[in-house]
Amino acid sequence: MTKKAKGQTEITIYPDWCKGCGICVEFCPAKVLALGRDGKARVARLDECINCGFCERHCPDFAIVVRGKGRKRRAPACAENGETPVDKE
Amino acid sequence: MADITELIHDYLRHNKKFPHVFCAGCGHGIVLGALIRSIHALGLSKDEVCIVAGIGCSGRIAAYVDFNTVHTTHGRALTFATGIKMANPKLKVITIMGDGDAMSIGGNHLIHAARRNIGVTALVLNNNIYGMTGGQCSATTPQGATTQTTPFGQMEKAFDIVTLAAAAGANGVYRGSTFHVNMLDRLVATAIERPGFNLVEIITPCHTQYGRKNKYKSAVDMFKWIKKNCVPKEKFDALPEADRGEKMPIGTFVEKDHKGLEQLYGELQARLNRPGRPVAEPEQPSAQHAEESRNIMNKEPK
Amino acid sequence: MAQKKSKQRKAVFALGNEAVVEGALLAGCSFYAGYPITPSSEIMEVMAARLPRSEDGVFIQMEDEIASMGAIIGASLAGRKAMTATSGPGFSLMQENLGFACMTEVPLVVVNVMRGGPSTGLPTSPAQGDVQQARWGTHGDHPVIVLSASDVRECLEMTITAFNFAEKYRTPVILLLDEITAHTREKIELPEPGELEIVGRSYPTVPPEWYKPYEDTMRGVSPMPPIGSGYRHHVTGLTHDVLGFPTQRPDEVKAIMERLFRKIDQFYPDIMLVEEYMTEDADIGVVAYGSVARSAELAIDMAREQGYKAGLIKLKTLFPFPKPFVNRLAARCSRIVVPEMNMGQMSREVKRVAARTTSIRTVNRIDGQIITPTQICKAITQG
C-alpha cells in the first residue's frame, strides 16, 4: 500500500452529536484526534490526518466529517431527495 | 475517503432529534452507518427499502433512518417482514433484531424464515445481553459471563447464530463486527442484494450492560476485545484448535442461490393465471370434510 | 345487503367457513396468513386453493398464530386487505400483535371460530367463551370492533362488513363465529360483485413531505398509504405523536389515545348492527348472538304459539355493545333472557345496560352442546 499523503483534509466534529466515547481517539492510526476537556473529541493534530476514513466509519454518532481541503458540502447524494424538514420540538 | 458521514446524514430523518438514544460508544450507530452505506452502494431508492425492527436497543435504529420503517413487537420483526415481502415483493425488506429478539422470543420465527427462504435480509445485532431492560443474560451470553440475572456466572451455553441459521436453511449466512467496518459494509450489501433469506450476525459491543460486569469497563475496551477476537474465517480455520479460545470467525459462511419464497410464489401464480388456461373451479372441501375432521379430532385433539 | 332471489346469482351449498372465504374475496381480501386449527381450518384450506389463482392473492401458512398476525399486519401495511382465521388457543396467541394493530391502526380481519375452552378444551364442540376476550384480550385500553354471525349467509355478509369496518375505521375487526355456524352447510346465493358496498382505504392527498401519518381528522381516521408508495413514515407500537415517532409527552399521548377511541365512538350508530325479530309488541325480550340466535328465533315462535309476546334482538355487532337497542327492548319488556354458550359474558353487558330497567335471566350452557329452542322457550315462558 502506498503511503498516504498527510494533512490533505479538514475535519469537522459536531460537539452536539459527539458523546465522547473515545473510539476515534483510541483507534485513529495517525493519532489526529484527542478528547477535549468537555469530554468530546477534538482535532489535535490535523496535519497528521491520512484521510483513512476510520473515524467516520466508526463514529456511532455520525459526528465526524472529514473533507478534502477546500471542498464544499456536496449536494445530497441519495437516490431520492427534496425533503422539507418538519419542525419538531 | 470522504463523504462517509455526509452520506449518512442524507439518509437520516431530519425531524428526529440527534444524537440518537444509544449509549456513548454503542455499536448500533456503526451498524446503522454500515446499513446506510450498503443501501447507497446498491443504488436503492429510499422508497423501495423497508426496515422492520424488533424491540430492544436495536429496535430503536429504525426510527432514525429515512426509509419505510416499522418498529414491531418483541421478536416478531421477521413475521411482519414476511407479510410485507409477500405483499409487495418489489420492496427490499431488511429486519434489524437484537440477540434477545432474534434468538429467544423470536427464535421460532427466525428458523422458519430461514427454512422458507423468504427474501428478507436479517441483521442480528449480537451484543450478548439484554441491553434495554438493564443487562439480563440472553441466549448468546457466553458461558461464565456475569449479568444481572446470572450474578454467579452464566451456566447455559450460548447459541451460535451462524450455525443455527445455516442449519435452518438460510440462503446466505454472514458474520461481521462493528470494528471491521469495511468488511461489514460488504457483507451487509451482499446480504441485501442476494435472493432468499440472508442473515448477518453483527458482533456489537454493549459496555454499559455487558462490558461493565465482565472486565470491559469502557467502549474502547470492548472494541479492543472485538478487534482481537474477531478474525477472518480463513484465518480462524487455519488456527489450531487450542489457539482459538474466545476467537470468532467473521466473513461469509453460507452462500446458496435458491430462489426466495416470494419468487417461487410469483412463478406459481403466473403459471396458474396463464392466459388461455381453462379456469378450473377450485377444489372445495367435500361435504364430509367437516365430519371427517370432527372424527379425527375426536380421537386426537390438538 | 339485500338477498333477493334472482336468477343471475350463483347458489352454492357452503359451510359457514367457506362462506367466510367467499365474503372475504368479494370484499377484496388478497392476503391470508394462518395456522391450522380446528374448527377454523376450512377457511385456510379454501384460501390456499383460491388465492394463488387470483391475480395478486397471497396465501402463506405461518409457523404459529403469532406469526400469522404479524404477517397480515405487514401485508396490510403494504396495502393489502388481509385476514387470518383461528380458534380459541390460536386467538390467545394473536392477542400480542392484535394490540400492535390497535395501536398502529392497521386494518385487518381476524375470524375466531369459538370452540370449548379454556386451554385446548373441546376442539370440535361449540362455545361462546371468547366474547370478552375478543373485546379485552390484548393488554392496554383499546377500542376494537367485534362482530358475530349466526348462519352461513351471515358468515358471508359479516365478513364483508368486517372488512368494510376495518378499512373505514383503520382498526382490527374480530369476527366471532362458533363451531356450529362454521360447520353448518347451507345453500346460499352469492351476491354479484357489483351489488355490494365495498369500502377501500383512504389515501393521503397531500404530497409526501406534508404527510403526517397519525394526523387527527374529522373522522378521527388518518389516511394510510401503503409502504413503498413514497410516503415514508415510521410505524411503531410505542405510543407515538402525529408523525409516528415515540412520545411520552402527556399532551401528545392523550391526543392519540383519545383519537383512537373517538374514531370508533363517534360512529356507534353505523357500527352497531342488530336484527330485531318480533320486538314491536314484545313484553319478554331475548338477546342472543351466534348460533344461539337461531335457536332463540325458533324459541320466540314457540313462545308466541303459547301466547307469550316474546321478541328477539340478534346481535351482529357485539362490541361496541348495541346499547340503544337493548335499552329500548328493556324499556318495554318485563324481563330479558340472555342465552349463551358460556357462563354469562354477554349477559354482563346486557345487565350493565338494562339491569335497572328490567329483570335479566341468563341461560348458560358450557357442556359443548348447543342451547336448544326448548331451553330458551322454557326460560321465556317460566320466567
For residue C340, the domain's CATH number is: 3.40.50.920
Query: B-contacting residues of C 158-197, CB under 8 Å?
Result: 183, 185
Q: Nearest by CB to C53, which of B16, B88, B273?
A: B273
3-state secondary structure of B198: strand
Q: Is B33 on the interface with A (CB under 8 A)?
A: yes
Q: Give residue limits of the domains in chain B.
A: 4-264
Per-residue pLDDT tens digits for B155-208? 999 999 999 999 999 999 999 999 999 999 999 999 999 999 999 999 999 999
C206, C209, C215: which to substitute to probe chain A, counting the most A Cβ within 10 Å?
C209
Partner-chain contact B24 A80, CB within 8 Å: no
Residue C73: give the domain boundaries.
Answer: 10-195
Distance from CA of C378 to the nearest CA of B (A): 31
Distance from CA of A89 to the nearest CA of B (A): 9
Residue-level pLDDT at A85? 36
Partner-chain contact A74 B66, CB within 8 Å: no
Residue length, chain C?
A: 383
Give B108: exposed, middle or buried? Use CB within 10 Å, 0-12, 13-18, 19+. Answer: middle
- What's the grid cell of residue C133? 376476550
Distance from CA of B139 to the nearest CA of C (A): 21
C15 has which bridge partners?
C185
Name chain C's partners: 3 or more CB pairs within 8 A.
A, B
A28, A56, A62: which to substitute to probe chain B, counting the most B Cβ within 10 Å?
A62
Query: C-contacting residues of B 83-102, CB under 8 Å?
Result: 83-88, 90-91
Distance from CA of B299 to the nearest CA of C (A): 11
Mean pLDDT computed over C81-109: 97
Interface of chain C toward chain A, CB-CB under 8 angstroms: 209-210, 243, 245
Q: Give the separation between CA A9 and CA C22, rounded to whole angstroms.
A: 67
Distance from CA of C206 to the nearest CA of A (A): 13
What does the DSSP assignment read for C64-84? SHHHHHHHHHHHHHTT--EEE
Residue C194 banded pLDDT, cuts 50, 70, 90 = confident
Q: How many CA atoms lie within 13 A of C138 on its CB side?
A: 22
The amino acid at residue B135 is G
Contact B58, B101 (CB under 8 A): yes
Residue-level pLDDT at C193? 80
Partner-chain contact C183 B294, CB within 8 Å: yes
Q: Does the residue C313 lie in any domain?
A: yes
The answer to whether residue B276 scores a pLDDT higher than 80 is no
Distance from CA of A78 to the nearest CA of B (A): 7
Of C177, C195, C213, the domain-final residue: C195
Residue C88 banded pLDDT, cuts 50, 70, 90 = very high
Assign 3-class secondary structure to C224-281: CCCCCCCCCCEEECCCECCCCCECCCHHHHHHHHHHHHHHHHCCHHHHCCEEEECCCC
Q: Nearest by CB to B8, which of A62, A67, A85?
A: A62
Helix (H) or strand (E) holding B52: strand B49-53
- Chain C contacts of B48, Cβ < 8 Å? 228
The amino acid at residue C68 is S
Pairing of strands B120-126, B129-130: unpaired
Residue-level pLDDT at C192? 87
Q: Is C120 on the interface with B (CB under 8 A)?
A: yes
Contact C188, C10 (CB under 8 A): no
3-state secondary structure of C320: coil
B11, B86, B272: which to substitute to probe chain C, counting the most C Cβ within 10 Å?
B86
- Chain A contacts of B2, Cβ < 8 Å? 9, 51, 53, 66-68, 71
Q: Give the separation between CA B165 and CA B112, rounded to whole angstroms.
A: 10
Name chain A's partners: 3 or more CB pairs within 8 A.
B, C
Contact C318, C343 (CB under 8 A): no
**Domains identified in chain C, total number:** 2
Residue-level pLDDT at B270? 94
Q: Is C48 on the interface with B (CB under 8 A)?
A: no
Partner-chain contact C209 A83, CB within 8 Å: yes
Q: Does the residue C314 lie in any domain?
A: yes
**Residue for grid cell 362490541:** C319
Per-residue pLDDT tens digits for C242-272? 999 999 999 999 999 999 999 999 999 999 9
Residue-level pLDDT at C6? 53
**Residue for grid cell 385500553:** C141
Partner-chain contact A83 C243, CB within 8 Å: no
Can you state the percent helix, strand and coil of chain B, rounding each to 5? 40, 20, 40
Distance from CA of B140 to the nearest CA of C (A): 23
Q: Give residue limits of the domains in chain A.
A: 9-68
C16 and C120 both lie in a single domain? yes
Of C162, C195, C228, the domain-final residue: C195
Q: Is B283 on the interface with C (CB under 8 A)?
A: yes
For the domain spanning A9-68, the CATH number is: 3.30.70.20
- Chain A contacts of B22, Cβ < 8 Å? 60
Partner-chain contact C74 B90, CB within 8 Å: no
Range list of β-strands (E), chain C:
10-15, 31-34, 58-61, 82-87, 108-116, 122-126, 145-148, 172-178, 185-190, 234-236, 274-277, 284-288, 310-315, 317-319, 335-340, 359-364
Partner-chain contact B46 A79, CB within 8 Å: yes
Please give the residue of chain C at the shortest CA–CA distance from B82: C71
Per-residue pLDDT tens digits for C124-146? 999 999 999 999 999 999 999 99
Distance from CA of C173 to the nearest CA of A (A): 33
Partner-chain contact A60 B8, CB within 8 Å: no
Give A4 or C28, the one with higher predicted confidence. C28
Of C147, C177, C195, the domain-final residue: C195
Contact C287, C345 (CB under 8 A): no
Distance from CA of A81 to the nearest CA of B (A): 8
Q: In chain A, which residues have pLDDT < 70?
A: 1-4, 72-89
Q: Does the residue C215 lie in any domain?
A: no
Q: Does the residue C143 lie in any domain?
A: yes
Partner-chain contact B33 A57, CB within 8 Å: yes
How far is the CA of C368 from the CAs of B232, C130, C150, C259, C260, in angstroms? Answer: 62, 14, 17, 40, 37
Q: Nearest by CB to B69, which of C53, C62, C235?
A: C235
Q: Does the residue C57 lie in any domain?
A: yes
Partner-chain contact A82 C243, CB within 8 Å: no
- Chain C contacts of B278, Cβ < 8 Å? none
Q: Give the separation between CA C85 and CA C39, rounded to whole angstroms.
A: 10
Partner-chain contact A84 C209, CB within 8 Å: yes
Query: C-contacting residues of A 68-87, CB under 8 Å?
Result: 82-84, 86
Give B78 or C6, the one with higher predicted confidence. B78
Fold of B4-264: Rossmann fold (3.40.50)
The amino acid at residue C248 is Q
Q: Give the separation between CA C301 and CA C297, rounded to whole angstroms.
A: 7
Q: Does the residue C224 lie in any domain?
A: no
Q: Nearest by CB to A79, which of B4, B45, B218?
A: B45
Handedness of CA C127, C154, C66, C135 (dihedral sign): negative
Query: A-contacting residues of B 66-125, CB under 8 Å?
Result: 66
B15, B72, B132: which to substitute to probe chain C, counting the most C Cβ within 10 Å?
B72
Interface confidence (ipTM) of the complex: 0.95
